[in-house]
Structure 1
Amino acid sequence: MTSATPAPTTASAATAATPPPESSPLVVIGAGTMGAGIAYVAATAGYPVFVVEPDDARRAGAAENLRATFDKAVARGRVGSPEADEAYARLSFLPALTEVPDGPHLIVEAVPERLDLKRAVLAEAAAKNPRVLASNTSSIPIGSLAEGLPRPADFLGLHFFNPVYAMPLLEIVTGAATSAETHRLALDFAHTLGKDPISVADHPGFATSRLGVALGLEAIRMLEDGVASAADIDKAMVLGYRHPMGPLELTDVVGLDVRLDIARTLQAAYGERYAPPKLLEDLVAAGKLGKKTGAGFHRWTPDGRRAI
């Protein structure tokens, strides 16, 4: 999970697209930050969405957080109250994939960035016979994830960005076996959500993570070396290069644990230039994961704002 420049393609943009037929349900596996975000934009766009999360507390928390997200969208004028209620009503929260009807239009896997876990989840999802099976991986090659799948032609990567409701980009990653028809359906899906997609070939890190993580890791090394404070390193990129936020703040938003997983994947593929700095490993080990825990390279308030 990575982020890019926020832009005003929010829920209101998604509702401008032609709603899909009610007979085209989507399934999102995993109710973490990315899974919940994908469910939000899909429900807003008109899809009935099954959110599958085996952890009871996480599933209940996702339902509560999504309700709050819709309420905030109403308060900020992004969507009307009736439309928000209708969209939330399209969401179903289930503890197991076995409770999902067979043959959904699309299943998106959004579990943590670990190869064995993703492969196990995707194998179970493939048994539901979706028309399109996708992974929200931000770095693991699609070819590696496709190993053992019965229909690799129907499989690809759909890499969303955080926060999903605000980020216009959707990175569509085609594997060697992905069919042209599956790619076309993915492009159609992206446009239905109001996203602006790019299509990339299957290489570790794809286009976005490979570039973004390189910048983020170098910023962490600079902090380790005492080049400047975290605030000033970030300010350098915001004011000097017109980035919407600095690389250390962005790492806090993405999650230091997520960045560490991606860095290790890229290190295995490309060598030591992507080796995670010790500071990153130490912060993750200490449970300082960024915005979601209140501390990372910066401090964060309970309402999700950076503390100055």
Structure 2
Amino acid sequence: MKIVAVIGAGTMGNGIAHTFAQNGFTVKLIDVSEAALEKGMTTIFTNLDRMLAKGSITAEDKMKTITNIICYTDIEDGVVGADLVVEAATENLDLKLRIFRKLNELCSHNTIFATNTSSISITRIAAEVAHPERVIGMHFMNPVPLMPLVEVIRGNQTSDEVTKITMTLAQKLGKNPVEVNDAPGFVANRILMPMINEAIETLHTNVAGVTEIDTVMKLGMGHPMGPLQLADFIGLDVCLSIMNVIFEGFKNPKYAPSPLLVNMVNAKKLGVKSGEGFYDYSENKKAEKVAKQFL
């Protein structure tokens, strides 16, 4: 396996492209938006410069990584010759299904299809393609170049061979792959997102404030980042999307998204990406609580 196509140049997509390219793969980074590709490549340059400054890579490593990435706005051109396609588009079922139907038309039946979905059923996505046994989940963690875990998710029809290849591939990237089975939220988000949702509900019911909740979880539970701050970094829209998938999958009221989470997403208070969430991230203000206006 030498050529990897990555669909989506956003936070996860550019991180995945960076990681493969740094480990010697030819990467074809695909996004319909030229601006998204430029932003994604800028992020990769910035992250490589940080690694260079810390001494974790050399200047030669940086240049090799950059030259290993080729950008495309046309998916047909981008996936030609790819041994592996990693879909890292927005966490939206309809969009992902459209992408996989297109991949089914464009790629060889030997091409492995991986999705970086954080919650959507691998089995459902695989139903859109011939040879569904070649579809698998590769759930990378953010930031991809630094986080060691890859959650490797088997769909109902994913073959043993494809699973083995994917596990080995993740190890070649310097990651620690963990094999799990297909279920709403898989393992990582089935545990993490209800915890974040419960923290939001704890705020919503006025048990404690934002900093107090985060402080309890950091100092009392040893978490490096409080759940509300983590939600801001993930994106509250992403948190809501995942909670909806888990809720729909299990039909259990305990997984219902907090009304506060819904209200904040509706108000476009999405966290770091929008400049405001449970904390304020605007340049001219210190981090402060802003969620109270939605209570």
TM-score by length of 1: 0.88
- The answer as to 2:26 corresponding to 1:48 is yes
Structural mapping, 1:108-119, within 5 Å:
108-119=86-97
Q: Which amino acid aligns with 1:68?
A: T
- SS of the counterpart of 2:168? helix
Match of 1:295 in 2: 276
CA–CA distance in structure 2, aligned partners of residues 128 and 29 of structure 1: 14
CA–CA distance in structure 1, aligned partners of residues 54 and 183 of structure 2: 39
Residue 112 of structure 1, CA deviation: 1.2
**8 A Cα contact 1:158 1:170, kept in partner:** yes
Q: Which residue of 133, 140, 145 maps to 1:165? A: 145
**8 A Cα contact 1:174 1:200, kept in partner:** yes
Residue 236 of structure 1, CA deviation: 0.8
Match of 1:250 in 2: 230
Quickly say closer, same or farther: Cα 1:68–1:290, change in 2 above 3 A: same
CA–CA distance in structure 1, aligned partners of residues 93 and 263 of structure 2: 23
Match of 1:155 in 2: 135
- The answer as to 2:127 corresponding to 1:128 is no
CA–CA distance in structure 2, aligned partners of residues 286 and 219 of structure 1: 19
Q: Which residue of 263, 267, 274 maps to 1:286? A: 267
Unaligned runs of 5+ in 2: 289-295
Match of 1:183 in 2: 163
Match of 1:87 in 2: 65
Quickly say closer, same or farther: Cα 1:301–1:85, change in 2 above 3 A: farther
Residue 71 of structure 1, CA deviation: 1.3
- The answer as to 2:17 corresponding to 1:39 is yes
Superimposed CA distance per residue, residues 18-63 of structure 1 (whole angstroms, 9 cap, x where no aligned partner): xxxxx71101101111111101111111111011000122122112
| Pairwise CA RMSD | 1.8
Residue 161 of structure 1, CA deviation: 0.7
- SS of the counterpart of 1:307? coil
**8 A Cα contact 1:70 1:88, kept in partner:** no
Q: Which amino acid aligns with 2:167?
A: L
- The answer as to 2:255 corresponding to 1:274 is yes
Match of 1:7 in 2: none
Residue 307 of structure 1, CA deviation: 3.0
Unaligned runs of 5+ in 1: 1-22
TM-score by length of 2: 0.92
Match of 1:67 in 2: 45
Residue 102 of structure 1, CA deviation: 2.8
- SS of the counterpart of 2:186? coil
Superimposed CA distance per residue, residues 201-254 of structure 1 (whole angstroms, 9 cap, x where no aligned partner): 111111111000110000000011111111111111111111111111111111
- SS of the counterpart of 1:100? helix
CA–CA distance in structure 2, aligned partners of residues 67 and 293 of structure 1: 23
Superimposed CA distance per residue, residues 44-85 of structure 1 (whole angstroms, 9 cap, x where no aligned partner): 111110110001221221122211111121112221112111
CA–CA distance in structure 1, aligned partners of residues 111 and 176 of structure 2: 22
- The answer as to 2:38 corresponding to 1:30 is no
Q: Which amino acid aligns with 2:37?
A: R
Q: Which amino acid aligns with 1:284?
A: V
Match of 1:207 in 2: 187
Residue 103 of structure 1, CA deviation: 3.5
Q: Which runs of structure 1 show a deviation greater than 4 angstroms over 4 or more consecutive aligned residues?
A: none
Percent identity between the two aligned chains: 36
- SS of the counterpart of 2:40? helix
- SS of the counterpart of 2:274? coil
CA–CA distance in structure 2, aligned partners of residues 274 and 112 of structure 1: 22
Quickly say closer, same or farther: Cα 1:222–1:25, change in 2 above 3 A: same
Which structure is higher in RCO with an 8 Å CA cutoff and minimum separation 6? 1
